Structure 1
Amino acid sequence: MNHIISIICFAFLLASCSLSPNYHQPVINLPQYLGLEPTEEKISETWWKDFGDSTLDLFVQEALENNYDLALAMSRVSQARSSWSYARSDRYPNIKLQGEATRNKKDSNKGQLENYNNFSLSGVVSFELDLWGRARDADRKAYATLLSIKANQDAIKLSLIANVVESYFGILTLNNQIQISQNTLKAREENYQYRKKEFEVGQTSEIIMQQAKSEVASVKAQLQSLLKEQNAAQTALLILLGRDPEGIFNVEIPTQPQTLPNAPIVPIGLPSSILEQRPDIEAATQNLKAANFAIGIARSAYFPTISLTGLAGYVSPELNNLIQNSSSTSNYGGNFVSNLLDLGRTNANINLAKAQYQEMLLTYGQTINKAFGEVRDSLFNYSISNERIQSLNEQVEALKRALVLAQIRYEEGYTNYLEVLTTQSNLFAAELNQQSVKLENLSAAVNLYKTLGGGWNKEYYDKD
C-alpha cells in the first residue's frame, strides 16, 4: 500500500503546467459616473421594497419560489455544477477495490481431475499525469461555465422581479382607469337622459341629444377595452407567480382602485463600476475565461498522455489465508499515448478555440456597450417621466376648470354644446393618460433598477 501512496504523491508533484494563455480582463474606456452628480448611495438588493407595498412584496416572494423559468434556470445551474465536479475529478487518482474468486478444474498426469481455488483482493490506482495542464484547464473551464450559467440564472431572476413589479403596477393602473371610465360613463348616461328629456319637450335639438348618446357609447367602448387589458394583465401576473392551472382560472386578483405609489428616488450618480453587478456582464466575463482555458485544452493534444497504474493486494488459493504477508502481490507500470499523425486535427482545434475566444471577446465588448446604452436610456426615461407627471397633472387641473367654464357658457347661451362635449372628452382622455404616465414613471424606475443590476449580489462570484 505504501507503493500506491508513493505513486499518488509523485503524480501530484508532476501535475503543475498549463498551456492556457494568461488571462487578462479586457480594458474598456468607461465614464467615471453614470449620472450628473456623484453619490455614495447604493442600490438595495431588495429594491422592490422601496415602493412600500406589502402586497407587491408577497407577489415577488411567491414568484421567486414558484416561477417555472427561474426553476429551470436553477436546474441548469445544478447540471453545470455536476459537470464541474465531474471535470474536477479528472485531476485526482482513480482508486478502485478489486476482488475475485475462481475455481478451476484441470486434468492431472494420472488422468484425474484436480480442483484449484484462487482468491484475490487488491487495490488499483490509476492516474493521468496532468503535465500539460489539460485536466486543470478542463476543471477551470467547467467552473467558469458554471459561473456563467449561474449569472444567467441571476439575470432571469432580476428580469422576473422586474416583470412582477411592472405587471402588478400595470394592474393597479388599469383598475384606476376602469374606475375613471365607470365614473365617466355614469356621468355621460345621466347627461344623455337629461338631454333626451329636453329633446322630448322641445327644449333642445336632436343633434345635441345624439351627441350625448354618442359620448355614452364611446366611453362604453373604452371601458370594454380596459376590461380586456385588465384580464390579460391578471393572467400574465398569475403565470409569473407560477400558479397552477386551477389557480390561473379560479383565483382573482383584487380590482379595487388604489392610488399608485410615487416612484422611489433611484441614485443616478453611481460610479460606472456598479455595472459589474449586472449578471449579463458577469456571464460574458465567465464565458471569456472559459474560452481562454479551452485554448490550453486544445494545445495539450500536441503532447502525449501519460498514465500511471498500480496494483497491490493479496492472492491465495485459500480464502482464510488471503490477507497475509505471504499472499501479497503488487505490480506497477505506466503508459503513454501520443499522436504521430493527425492530419492537422489538433492545429484545427487550436485555431477553433482561438476563434471562439475572439468571439467571446467581441461578445464581452458588445455586452458592455449594450449595458451602457440601456443605462443611458433608462436614466433619461426616468428623468423625463418625472417631468411628464407634472405636466399631466397641470393639464388635468386645467381641463377640469375649462369644463366648468364651458358648461357655464353653454347654459348662458354663449356657446354650443359641442364645446362642452369636446372639453369632456379631452378631460376623460387626460385622466386616463395621467394614470398611464404614472405607470410609465414607475416602470422607468423599475427599469433603471434592472439596468443597474439591482437585486443581484456579486459576492458569490468574487468568493468563488
Structure 2
Amino acid sequence: MLNKKLILHIVAMTIFLTGCSFKPVTPQKDTSFRATYENINIKDKWWEDFNDPKLNLLVNDALMYNSDLALALNNIEVSRVKLGLEKLEYLPNISYQGSAIRTNNTPGASHSSTRSVYSASALFDYELDLWGKVRNSVGTKKSIFQASVYDYQTAKLSIVSEVVNRYFNLLFLEEQKEILNETLISYKNTLRYRKNQLDAGIISSIVYAQTQSLVANANARLVEVENNIDIANAALAVLTGKSYDEILYKNIDTSEDFSIHIPKVPSSISSDILLRRSDVASSLEQLRASNFLVGVSKAGYFPSISLTGVLGYTSFELDRLFVDNKDSWNIGGSLVGPLFDFGRTKKRVEIANLEQNASFINYDKALKNAFLDVRTALVSRENSIKKQESMKNLENSQKEVYNLANKRYNAGYSDHIELLDAQRSYLDAKLGLAASNLDVANSIVLVYKAFGGGFKVDDNETKNILNSDTTILPSKSTSPFSY
C-alpha cells in the first residue's frame, strides 16, 4: 500500500511542477470606432418580427432539418471530442500485461524439475508538462472547439437569412403572377373588343395585331414567372429540409396576402457591433488557437521528461498470484531531448509564427468585413425605402397616364401606339413596385444579419479583446525565452 501511495505522490508532484508556458501574448487589433448609437437589441428569433406564421414554420423546419446546419453541429461534436482527447494528455497512460511461462532448465530431467512462473502487472507512463506543451495543445483545441460553436451560429444566421430572403422572393413571384394574370384578363378582353372592331371595319388589322402582341408578351412573361416560382419552391424546400417527394412535387405554403409586414430596425451603428458577430468571434478563436500552437512549437526546444512505473505480482502458482506478499514494483524516469536537429525546431516555430500571422490577417479581414456589412446594410435599407416611395409615385402616375391614353384613343385624339405604350409602362410600373417592396424586405434582413441576428458574446476575455483600443502584433521570435 505504501508503494501505491508513493506513486500517487510522485504524480501529484509532477502536476504541481507543470507551470511553464512559451505561448506568446495573444495578438490584438485596435477596434475602436465612432458609433452613433449606444446599444441595439435584436432578439434571437428576429424573423418573427415580420409577423408571418408560415415564414416562422419554414425557419423552424430549417433549424431542425437543414443539411448545412447538421454539418455545423457535427463539426462542434468533432471539436468537442478532440478537446476531450487532448485533455486526457494531462493523465498518465496506464496499461496492463500478464504472462505465464513453463520452463525446464535441466534437459532430460523428469517433470518434477519443471516449474511455472505467472506474472501480472500494471504499467504507467506520464510525461511531465514542464514546458506547457500539453497545456497549450489543450488551449488550441479549446479555441478550435469554441470557434466551431461560433461557426454554427454563423451558419444558422446565414441559413435563416436565406430562408427568409427566398420566402420573400417567392411572395414577390406570386405577386408578379397575380399582376400578370389580372393584366392578361384585361388584355384579352381588349383583344376581343378589338376583334369586334376589326370585323366591323372600325380599326385596321395592324391595330388588332398590336393588341395580339401585347397579349403574347404578357403571356410569355407569365410563363417565365411561373417557371421561377417552381424553381423557388424547390430551392426553399431543400433549405428547409423537406422530403424528396416534397422537393419534386409540392409547393411551399405561403401567406395568401403577398404584402410583407416591415418591422422597425436599427438605423444607426451600434457601439458593440463586434460583440454581435459570430464570424468575428470565430476568427478571434482561430487566432487564439494559432497563438497556442506557437507555444507548442517552442516547447520543442526542451526535452521530454517522463516517469514510468510498474506495479505487479509474480508467483509460481496461479492461485497464489495476487497474494499480498507477492507484489513487486519499480519506478523510473527518462529524458529525451534534441541535441542537434539542424534547425528543425526553429523552422517549426517559424511556421507556427507565420500561421499565427495568417490568422491575425484573417481576423483583421473579418473585422473589416463586419464594418462593410453594417454600412452596406444601413445604406441599402435607406435607399430601398427611397426607391419604394419613388416606385409608388411612378405606379400612380403610369396608372393615370394609361387612363388618359385610353380615353384619348377611344375619343379619337391619339393613335393606338400611344395606348400600347401606356399599357406597357403601367404593367412595368406595377411589377417594379412589387420588386421595390421585395428590396425593402430584403434590406431589413440584411440589417438583421449585419448586426449578428441576436448573437452576443458572453465571455469577458473575448469581449475585452474585441473591444481593444490597442494593437498587439503577432510574435516573430523563434526563441522560447522571447515574447
- TM-score under structure 1 length normalisation: 0.94
> Is residue 2:377 matched to residue 1:378?
yes
Following superposition, the deviation at residue 181 of structure 1 comes to 0.2
Q: Which residue of 1 aligns with 2:326?
A: 327
3-state SS of paired residue (2:452): coil
* 1:136 aligned residue: 135
Give the Cα–Cα distance (whole angstroms) in 2 for the partners of residues 457 and 118 of structure 1: 66
Write the distance in 1 (CA, Å) between the matches of 2:274 and 2:432.
34
Partner of residue 242, structure 2: 243
- Which of 27, 30, 34 is 1:31 aligned to? 34
Q: Which moved more, 1:142-151 or 1:215-224?
A: 142-151
Partner Cα separation in structure 2 for residue 246 and residue 317 of structure 1: 72
Specify the SS of the correspondent of 1:95: strand
Could you tell me how far apart the structure 2 residues matched to 1:274 and 1:297 are? 33
Cα distance in 2 between the residues matched to 1:382 and 1:11: 61
Misfit runs of 4+, over 6 Å: 460-464
Cα separation, 2, equivalents of 1:362 and 1:457: 23
What residue number does 2:106 align with?
Answer: 108
Shift of 1:58: 0.7
Q: In the alignment, which residue of structure 1 is the partner of 2:201?
A: 202
Q: Which residue is 1:344 aligned to?
A: 343
Cα contact 1:103–1:115 (8 A) shared by 2: no
Please tell me whether residue 90 in structure 1 is matched to residue 102 in structure 2: no
Greater CA deviation, 135-144 or 108-117? Answer: 108-117
Residue aligned with 1:454, SS: helix
* Contact 2:146–2:282 (Cα < 8 Å) also in 1: yes
1:345 and 1:328 map into 2 onto residues whose CA distance is 45
Q: Which amino acid aligns with 1:104?
A: R
Query: Is 2:189 the partner of 1:190?
Result: yes
The structure-2 alpha-carbon separation of the partners of 1:22 and 1:41, relative to structure 1 and needing over 3 Å to count, comes to closer
Q: Deviations over 1:154-212 (max 9, x none)?
A: 21111000000011111111011001001101110110111111011111122211111
Cα 1:435/1:102, change in 2 over 3 Å: same
* Root mean square deviation, CA, Å: 2.0
Pick one of 17, 20, 23 that aligns with 1:17. 20
For residue 280 of structure 1, report the CA deviation from its aligned partner: 1.2
Aligned 1:161-200 pairs, distance under 5 A: 161-200=160-199
Bigger mean CA deviation after superposition, 340-349 or 396-405: 396-405
| Shift, 1:461, TM fit | 9.3
Structure 2 CA distance, aligned partners of 1:402 and 1:10? 92
8 Å contact from structure 1 (residues 19, 296) kept in 2: yes
Deviations 1:113-140 (A, max 9, x none): 3333333333322210000000000000
* Equivalent in the alignment of 1:44: 43
Q: How does 1:35-74 map to 2 (within 5 A)?
A: 38=37, 40-74=39-73
Q: Which amino acid aligns with 2:82?
A: S
Q: Distance in 2 between matches of 1:378 and 1:259?
A: 24
- 8 Å contact from structure 2 (residues 131, 302) kept in 1: yes
Structure 1 stretches lacking a partner, 5+ long: none
Secondary structure in 2 aligned to 1:128?
strand
Separation of aligned partners in 2, 1:277 and 1:161 = 16
- Provide the C-alpha distance between the structure 2 equivalents of 1:457 and 1:313, rounded to a whole number of angstroms: 55
Which residue of structure 2 aligns with residue 360 of structure 1?
359
1:99: how far off? Answer: 4.5
Q: Give deviations 1:89-134, integer Å, cap 9, x for gaps.
A: 11222233x2424141214377223333333333322210000000
Measured after TM superposition, the shift of residue 322 of structure 1 is 2.8
State the match for 2:407 in structure 1.
408
Aligned to 2:429: 430
5+ long unaligned stretches in structure 2:
464-483
**1:172–1:257 contact (8 Å) kept in structure 2:** no
CA distance in 1, matches of 2:254, 2:284: 45
Task: Flag the 1:39–1:191 CA change in 2: closer, same or farther, 3 A.
Answer: farther
Report if aligned partners of 1:284, 1:363 keep a CA contact under 8 Å in 2: yes
State the Cα distance separating 1:270 from its structure 2 match: 4.4
Give 1:39 deviation, angstroms. 5.3
Q: Using the alignment, how far apart are the partners of 1:44 and 1:74 within structure 2?
A: 22
1:127: which partner in 2? Answer: 126
Counterpart CA distance in 2 for 1:461 and 1:157 is 23
1:207-218 superposed matches below 5 A: 207-218=206-217
What SS does the corresponding residue of 2:310 show, helix, strand or coil? Answer: strand
With over 3 angstroms needed to count, the CA separation of the structure-2 counterparts of 1:124 and 1:3, relative to structure 1, is farther
More divergent stretch after superposition (201-210 vs 136-145): 201-210
User: What is the distance in 1 between the residues matched to 2:87 and 2:30?
Assistant: 30
Q: Which amino acid aligns with 2:277?
A: R
Letter in 2 for 1:347: K
Tell me how far 1:457 sits from its aligned partner: 4.5
The superposition leaves residues 320-349 of structure 1 with CA deviations (integer Å, 9 ceiling, x where unpaired) of 333333111110000010111111110001
Taking a change above 3 Å as real, the CA distance of residues 256 and 43 of structure 1, as seen in their structure-2 partners, is closer
Q: Please name the residue that 2:397 is paired with.
A: 398
Instruction: Say whether the 8 Å CA contact 2:54–2:254 is kept in structure 1.
Output: no
Give the secondary structure class of the aligned counterpart of 2:104: strand
Residue correspondence of structure 1 range 174-323 to structure 2 within 5 A: 174-254=173-253, 258-323=257-322
Q: In 2 relative to 1, CA 256–301 (structure 1 residues): closer, same or farther, beyond 3 Å?
A: closer
Distance (Å, rounded) in 2 between the aligned partners of 1:385 and 1:373: 18
* In 1, Cα distance between equivalents of 2:459 and 2:219: 54
| Identical residues among aligned pairs (%) | 29
Conservation of the 8 A alpha-carbon contact between 2:133 and 2:299? yes
TM-aligned CA deviation for residue 147 of structure 1: 1.5
Distance 1:247 1:462, change over 3 A: farther
Distance in 1 between residues matched to 2:71 and 2:255, nearest whole Å: 34
Please identify, of 20-29 and 281-290, the stretch whose mean Cα deviation from structure 2 is larger.
20-29
- Work out whether residues 176 and 257 of structure 1, in 8 Å CA contact, stay in contact via their aligned partners in 2: no
Task: Say which SS state the counterpart of residue 272 (structure 1) adopts.
Answer: coil
CA distance in 1, matches of 2:462, 2:366: 23
Aligned residues of 1:304 and 1:338 also touching (Cα < 8 A): yes
* DSSP 3-state at the match of 2:90: coil
Q: For the residues of structure 1 that align with 2:267 and 2:47, how far apart are their CA atoms?
A: 17
Q: Is the 8 A contact 1:125 1:309 kept in 2?
A: yes
